[in-house]
Chains A and B, each alone.
Chain A
Amino acid sequence: MRPHRCELCHIDLKHVSVTRGGQEVLQDINMHIHCGQLTVLIGQNGAGKTTLVRALLGEIPYTGTIRHEDGHGRVLGHLRIGYVPQHLAFDRDMPVTVQDFLASAFTRRPVWTGVSKSTREKAIQALSQVNAEDLIDRPLGRCSGGELQRIQLALALTPEPDLLLLDEPVSGVDQNGLKVFLDTVRALRGGRHLAILLVSHDLQFVREYADHVVLLDRTVLVQGAPDPVFSSDAFAQIFTGTEVAAQ
């Protein structure tokens, strides 16, 4: 873990726009993702949440700037992102254990030649951060959706990133699994030098877990603490009669 802890470092998005096929799918996004906070991105399907994630990951071209800054606006080197994808739609029949999966990301030694003791320890260490060390020898295809999510979280946290980028799954994880996952994420945010952005596809937990909520519909409609965002006009317009009714 890095020596200092700070509340002020942030990832600064300024005028971020993405154009695809002649259409502007993201328009002038301005927001901060603060270190030590859980920022949650909400919005309906097609609002551009996944596009924003891909822009942050550098997978698609965008205009505007995404910078990692300290409290005085000074740029802090390369932004290291730990990413937990939404789907892990891999071939469940693949002969790969959790250890193989983690080791393939941690070392250059080809996994088919075996996994060294130190790499195994590193993998166990990573899993213990998310209380999943007992999964180490399980075939990856035999893990439940919630377990896979925690395994990926363990991977995303090693080495410790500046930004933890979590794309919450739409399906495949039950409510209990999701709660365990979010509890783990919430526990992380306190003790580490880490900013967290969670893309949430259902609103049920957002109010309870988020520090900062960003409502997206191709651009940022409203952002702030959960309560003001949830009672805003924009929120009511976007979610009328759908998820709000379920709350």
Chain B
Amino acid sequence: MNAVYAFLDAVLPLEALQFSFMKNAFLAILLLTPLLGLLGTMAVNQQMAFFSDALGHSALTGIGLGIILGIENDLVSMLIFGILWAVLISLIKHAGFSSADTVISVFSSTSVALGLLILSRGGGFAKYSSLLIGDILAVTPADILYLLIALVAGVGIWAVMYNGLLLTSINSSLARSRGVKTRLYEMAFSVLVAVAVMLAIRWVGVMLINALLILPAASARNIAKTSRAHAVFSVLFALVSGIAGLFSSFWWNTSAGAAIILYAAAIYVITLILRRFVRG
């Protein structure tokens, strides 16, 4: 880790990066935002923005249930519950009981209510309020290691699944006729999004995590014509908002998550204006 710090000092001799908590936060952003940027492209294509929003909210329930079940590491309980939630929503969506919107809305509000109920027992919710807005400055070297593993694994799985998912999002019957196991792919993608969201939530916060997944991909979509440009711009926008937001929050002494999302939103507005020139 010291070698990485020394490298950062040499490459980016910034005042803000003298502090090791800023170095950690910076590294976390470099690892996290590309993954969210990449996954976001398909989440936007598949119109899953509402779904990922509901997933983010379910983190509260995950932590709450973790406490009840005595799981000490709240990341583990969030991951388990997030994956469970993703699978369950997918199954119910496919069973076709009611429209996807309604199903997700029911899940989302139920998980928020359940989470709040558990976490607010005895009036103690204040200690969890950092979950809502996130705290990127609390990243530890150990966190960076698992973010690195997540990035490598996530991009690897993403590379294997992407073409099948793209075909599925264009026409699922067509995809199936070409041997794509569409259900499995959609489920695996939901789980992948769940894992990425849960890993990011402590740093970005329940309230804003979805924006970080959706905004860069939505901005990229405004100006991209090809799948490749979509991915490249989305990752770029996620990285730029992440880094700019981190430094701004340091200088302004505000929440990093909020600053990151504001930059992402600004990029969205700019691309929306550029859209008519680029895409006609």
Please give the residue numbers on chain A whose beta carbons come within 8 Å of chain B beta carbons, in ascending order. Answer: 54, 57, 59, 81-83, 85, 87-91, 93-97, 99-101, 103-105, 107-115, 139-140, 152, 155, 165
Q: How far is the CA of A107 from the CA of B167 in the complex (A)?
A: 12
| Chain A min CB distance to B164 (Å) | 8
The answer to whether B225 and A97 have CB atoms under 8 Å apart is: yes
Q: Which of B7-15, B93-101, B111-119, B168-176 contacts A (4 or more CB under 8 A)?
A: B168-176
Contact for B227 among A59, A111, A155, CB less than 8 A: A111
The answer to whether A105 and B163 have CB atoms under 8 Å apart is: yes
| Chain B min CB distance to A206 (Å) | 23
The answer to whether A140 and B170 have CB atoms under 8 Å apart is: yes
| Chain B min CB distance to A115 (Å) | 8
The answer to whether A112 and B162 have CB atoms under 8 Å apart is: yes
| Chain A min CB distance to B58 (Å) | 26
Name which residue of chain B comes closest to A96, CB basis. B227
Contacts A110-B163, A111-B163 given: A85-B173 contact, CB under 8 Å?
yes
Please give the residue numbers on chain B whose beta carbons come within 8 Å of chain A beta carbons, in ascending order. Answer: 38, 41, 45, 47, 158-160, 162-164, 166-167, 169-171, 173-174, 176-178, 220-221, 224-232
Contact for B170 among A59, A81, A88, A110, CB less than 8 A: A88
Contact partners of A104 in chain B: CB under 8 A: 162-164, 166-167, 227
A selection of 16 A-B contacts at a CB cut-off of 8 Å is A57-B173, A57-B177, A83-B177, A90-B169, A93-B221, A94-B45, A95-B225, A96-B170, A101-B166, A104-B227, A108-B163, A109-B163, A111-B227, A112-B41, A112-B231, A114-B228
Contacts A96-B226, A111-B227 given: A85-B159 contact, CB under 8 Å?
no
The answer to whether A110 and B174 have CB atoms under 8 Å apart is: no
Q: How far is the CA of A100 from the CA of B171 in the complex (A)?
A: 14
Contacts A96-B227, A100-B227, A140-B170 given: A91-B45 contact, CB under 8 Å?
yes
Q: How far is the CA of A222 from the CA of B112 in the complex (A)?
A: 59
Q: How far is the CA of A115 from the CA of B227 in the complex (A)?
A: 10
Name which residue of chain B comes closest to A89, CB basis. B171
Q: How far is the CA of A111 from the CA of B230 in the complex (A)?
A: 11
The answer to whether A57 and B176 have CB atoms under 8 Å apart is: yes
The answer to whether B163 and A107 have CB atoms under 8 Å apart is: yes
Top 4 closest pairs, chain A to chain B, by CB: A112-B231, A83-B177, A110-B162, A104-B163
**Apart from A83-B177, A95-B227, what are 7 other A-B pairs with CB-CB below 8 Å?**
A85-B173, A94-B169, A94-B221, A95-B225, A104-B162, A108-B160, A139-B225
